[in-house]
Amino acid sequence: MKLTVLAAALVGFLTSLAAPVRADVTHVAVAANFTEPAREIAALFKQKTGHEAVLIFGASGAFFTQITHSAPFEVFLSADEDRPKAAVEQGFAVPDSRFTYAIGKLVLWSRVVDVTNGEAALKAGNFLKLSIANPVAAPYGTAAVETMKALGVWDALQPKIVQGNSIAQAFQFIDTRNAELGFVALAQLHGVTAGTQWEVPSNLHAPIRQDAVLLKTGANSEASKAFLAFLKGPEARAIIEQFGYSLP
């Protein structure tokens, strides 16, 4: 008697292990700046389609390295267009699946000094540490460096720069006030009322075109294709705009 109960429980357990394979799941590597909108989009996506999108957050550059080393992602939402392009060229992504899902905005943010006039604040340089994302691995970091160069303050500010390994860590350095100010993505400040901010004029850096791409690993995955289609759709676009991105 006891044995049959045990056997039934075991069968039940094994079936539950097998279940996620049947339900469609896609693994999406998401650039850190897009964390919050991606969460909302994934929740809505699950509600509408029943598919589950598992989100992994990090720096685009780090993801690209991982993708070239067979990381188990099916979709890549980069913070730039170069890496998705390279993923296609090097045979890691499905050609023609690449599209721009958002155009990012760079913001100077501080919880210590007044950066309402960001250009003046940067030129005055009355601070000890300025936080940016690692410019080699994170596109928002690259845009931050371009901005400082365009304003002619790069040489003066370089010794004050601290780097987060993604835009999320750059944000955290400013949020804990270890760095007085720094460059983050506008989307990260969604719902944040603390401190002052300055939206960087878009002519100071190359546009942050954020591209999505279907990876080869997801070429036959229904959930992955559905997620990218959903990302192009009106509901996702509304969320993306609400977080302060522009759309192509």
Q: Which chain residues interact with another protein by CB under 8 A?
A: 59, 61-62, 64-65, 68, 112, 128-129, 131, 134, 136-137, 161-165, 172-173, 176-180
Beta bridge partners of 30: 57, 77
In 3D space, the residue among 160, 156, 133 whose CA is nearest the CA of residue 144 turns out to be: 133
| Shortest Å, Cβ 65 to another protein | 5
Question: What are the percentages of helix, strand and coil residues in the chain, rounded to 5?
Answer: 50, 20, 30
d(CA 100, CA 81): 8
C-beta of 2 vs 69, nearer to another protein = 69
Q: Please, are residues 186 and 107 in contact by the beta-carbon 8 Å criterion? A: yes
Region label for 25, one of left (φ > 0), alpha (ψ between -120 and 50) or beta (otherwise): beta
| Shortest Å, Cβ 101 to another protein | 23
| Shortest Å, Cβ 163 to another protein | 4
| Shortest Å, Cβ 30 to another protein | 16
| Shortest Å, Cβ 137 to another protein | 5
C-beta of 15 vs 90, nearer to another protein = 90
| Shortest Å, Cβ 109 to another protein | 16
Q: Please, are residues 127 and 181 in contact by the beta-carbon 8 Å criterion? A: yes
C-beta of 161 vs 239, nearer to another protein = 161
d(CA 111, CA 197): 9
| Shortest Å, Cβ 169 to another protein | 8
Q: Please, are residues 239 and 41 in contact by the beta-carbon 8 Å criterion? A: yes
In 3D space, the residue among 70, 51, 30 whose CA is nearest the CA of residue 225 turns out to be: 51
C-beta of 104 vs 141, nearer to another protein = 141
In 3D space, the residue among 18, 15, 20, 73 whose CA is nearest the CA of residue 50 turns out to be: 20
C-beta of 62 vs 115, nearer to another protein = 62
Q: Which two tokens stand for residue 198?
A: 């300055």
C-beta of 145 vs 240, nearer to another protein = 145
d(CA 221, CA 212): 16
C-beta of 145 vs 161, nearer to another protein = 161
d(CA 196, CA 187): 15
